[in-house]
Amino acid sequence: MSTWTSAILGAAGLGIVTALQPCPLVNNVAAVSWLSQWADETCPTVKGVICYVLGRIFGFGTVAVILSHGLLSAALAADMLQQSVFRLTGPVLIIAGMMAAGLLPFPFRHRSSPGLGVNPGLTCTGAFLLGVILSLSFCPPSAALFFGALIPLVLDRGMPLLLPAVYAISSAIPVVAAALFLNSGIRLAGDSIWNINTVKVWVPRITGVILILTGIIISLQRIYN
């Protein structure tokens, strides 16, 4: 097995292990909820999933490039991100949930939005930013895997862009699969049982509630951890 292949497989394995940790699983719930907003249309959901993954690649890749160039130590970077970004994740998800539920104005409305006040559209910008924020929201288990296992692999193999990208994609597999599955299931339910307008009204509201609850849980974890 070549050095490149073993490194890529190692990064993919670390990403999958990270996705199964309790703390990232909470983030995954928020991501799936956000990406499932436009349940009646496949195209916006697929675009949102792609932009979300690109956001994760950007977040992980930026940290890896900074560390590989010696601009910051891994220990200091891990501490800074856990103290700053992870602290902000809960409030950010609460605000995003309020936007999804129509309690706050939505700054990234999709152009094809039907205009319902409670139906914020899914956009690439919002999904990308969510991917960046959640990728940098390191809790102790994910920080240990990223800074303690992936970064040494990146430095040893000299792949500051490829390996973080593989890690980002593999760690997002549960979110991608769940979002697309829910999209197909909800669209089928909307076609066979509900009026599609009912789906458009209630899915964003449910999404908002899930995001708000997830934000509260993460905030409480941060306070009492």
Cα(67)–Cα(128) distance, rounded to whole angstroms?
Answer: 22
Joined tokens for residue 122: 């899914």
Q: Express each pLDDT in 53-85 by its tens digit.
A: 999 999 999 999 998 887 667 777 777 776 666
| pLDDT-flagged residues of the chain (< 70) | 1-2, 36-44, 71-72, 82-86, 100, 105-123, 183-204, 222, 224-225
Prediction pTM value: 0.74
Task: Give the domain extent around 190.
Answer: 3-224
**Which pLDDT belongs to residue 12?**
93
Tell me how far apart the terminal alpha carbons of the chain are, to the nearest angstrom: 42
Question: What was the pLDDT predicted at 162?
Answer: 92
pLDDT tens, residue by residue, 163-196:
999 999 999 988 888 777 776 665 555 554 445 5
- pLDDT for the residue 180: 75
Number of structural domains (the chain) is 1
Is the backbone of residue 96 left (phi > 0), alpha (psi -120 to 50) or beta?
alpha
